[in-house]
Amino acid sequence: MREPISQSAVDGKHIRICKRVDSGSLFFSYKNFFSTVLTALVDADYCFISIDIGAYSASSDCNIFKNMKFCKKLEGTHLSIPGSRSLPNDDNGTPMPFVIVGDETFALSEHVLRPYPSRNLAIPKRIYNYRITRARRMVECAFGILCNKRRIFHRAIDIRPDFCDVIVKTCCILYNFVRQKEGFQFQDTLFECPLDTVKAVGTRGDVRGTAVRGYFAKYFTSPQGSVPWQYEKF
């Protein structure tokens, strides 16, 4: 992901399904179609680390993510993730935790970074947003590759929701198998994802998350953490 100690990127997408007689409005999304939600964490090799499928369309990414087994283990420190460490070239600085990058939908916390609200931002915050957005491209690219390799995602899936979950999980497993076998293909990253993003809702970050984000914003504009090309965008 080219960003220090970023272990994965997270996002959620709507998987279109046909309306079931007994589903009511639970699977009806704000996009005015029926869907189930696929939330995924993706690593720097565009492979899925953890997925959650089957959430109602009315749910937000933030709530789905908090209920994922991965997230609960992350909050409970039950994952084999290294402890906090100094950022590259910042040996005398404050050790930072390994983080997951998401968009504005996800609540800010010690292990989850999201962009600053994009209004009248100072240069350090704008550069931070740019670097975080670049890191998030991994999950967007993974969804795009998945959809273009498995054309079933280009139309509404007309089966029971529980069986739909099995199909989506199987597609993700096959996707990882092929990625690991065939390796990285740059042209795959050019695919656009046809799936709709889950609607953002207002979420508040905690004090520790705010401090971690602030340190990264400062680091990205410091001699230790800046890169020449980041200033070309401003």
| Domain presence at residue 93 | yes
pLDDT digits (tens, 9 = 90+) for 154-169: 888 888 878 888 999 9
pLDDT digits (tens, 9 = 90+) for 49-106: 988 887 665 555 567 667 767 777 777 666 677 788 899 888 888 999 889 898 887 8
Pairing mode of beta strands 112-113, 99-101: parallel
**Confidence at residue 190, expressed as pLDDT on a 0 to 100 scale:** 62
Residue 129, domain extent: 6-233
| Domain presence at residue 18 | yes
Task: Please give the mean pLDDT across all residues of the chain.
Answer: 81
pLDDT digits (tens, 9 = 90+) for 122-141: 999 999 999 998 888 889 88
* Count of structural domains, the chain: 1
The model carries a pTM of 0.81
Please state, for a pLDDT cut of 90, what percent of the chain lies above it. Answer: 23
pLDDT reading at 191 higher than 90: no
Indicate the residue type of 225: G
| Domain presence at residue 33 | yes
| Domain presence at residue 1 | no
Mean pLDDT of 31-39: 77
**Confidence at residue 66, expressed as pLDDT on a 0 to 100 scale:** 73
Where residue 198 falls among pLDDT bands split at 50, 70, 90?
low
